[in-house]
């Protein structure tokens, strides 16, 4: 079981690298940045909704010395989806963040 953990971690990291670049949020009506309160409210609501959908996201086995914790990956996707849904309901839209250009060192 523990032998497969590095492989699972590697797969998770490779998927994270292949995901779309992070985006910022802006208000549709005035192109303003989201307030801290709106973002915070959506984070709290998203976590609560994800917890309701995946109540047993943590599973741990404590076998004397080797504690194994399992975190359901679907919980993270659900939290992200609920956060985006909440932000859209509040009138925000995602906008791509500009890619930083890395100049070669001469």
Are residues 78 and 49 in contact, defined by beta-carbon separation less than 8 angstroms?
A: yes
Please tell me the predicted confidence (pLDDT) of residue 21: 46
Query: Rg of the chain's alpha carbons, rounded to an integer?
Result: 18
Whole-angstrom distance, CA of residue 92 vs CA of residue 42 = 11
63 found inside a domain: yes
Query: How many structural domains comprise the chain?
Result: 1
35 found inside a domain: yes
Please tell me the predicted confidence (pLDDT) of residue 55: 83
Mean predicted confidence (pLDDT) in 9-14: 49
Q: What is the pLDDT of residues 20-72, one digit of tens each?
A: 445 689 998 898 999 999 999 999 999 999 999 988 777 666 666 666 677 78
58 found inside a domain: yes
Q: What's the half-sphere exposure (Cβ side, CA atoms, 13 Å) at 47?
A: 5
Which is more confidently placed, 106 or 89?
89
10 found inside a domain: no
What average pLDDT does the structure give for the chain?
A: 77
4 found inside a domain: no
Please tell me the predicted confidence (pLDDT) of residue 19: 43
Please tell me the predicted confidence (pLDDT) of residue 82: 96
- Please provide residue 63's backbone torsions phi and psi, each rounded to the nearest 5 degrees: -100, 75
- Please provide residue 87's backbone torsions phi and psi, each rounded to the nearest 5 degrees: -65, -40
20 found inside a domain: no
Mean predicted confidence (pLDDT) in 3-26: 55
Please tell me the predicted confidence (pLDDT) of residue 1: 47
Provide the domain limits for residue 79: 25-94
53 found inside a domain: yes
What's the chain look like in SS3?
A: CHHHHHHHHHHHHHHHHHCCCCEEEEECCCCCCCCHHHHHHHHHHHHHHHHHHCCCCEEEEEECCEEEEEECHHHHHHHHHHHHHHHHHCCEEEEECCCCCCCCCC
83 found inside a domain: yes
**pTM for this predicted structure:** 0.64
């Amino acid at each position: 079981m523990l032998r497969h953990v590095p492989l699972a971690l590697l797969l998770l990291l490779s998927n994270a690298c292949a995901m779309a670049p992070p985006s910022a949020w802006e208000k549709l009506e005035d192109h303003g940045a989201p307030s801290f309160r709106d973002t915070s409210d959506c984070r709290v609501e998203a976590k609560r909704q994800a917890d309701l959908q995946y109540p047993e996201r943590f599973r741990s086995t404590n076998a004397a010395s080797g504690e194994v914790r399992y975190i359901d990956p679907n919980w993270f996707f659900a939290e992200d989806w609920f956060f985006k849904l909440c932000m859209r309901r509040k009138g925000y839209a995602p906008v791509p963040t500009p890619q930083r250009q890395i100049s070669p060192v001469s």
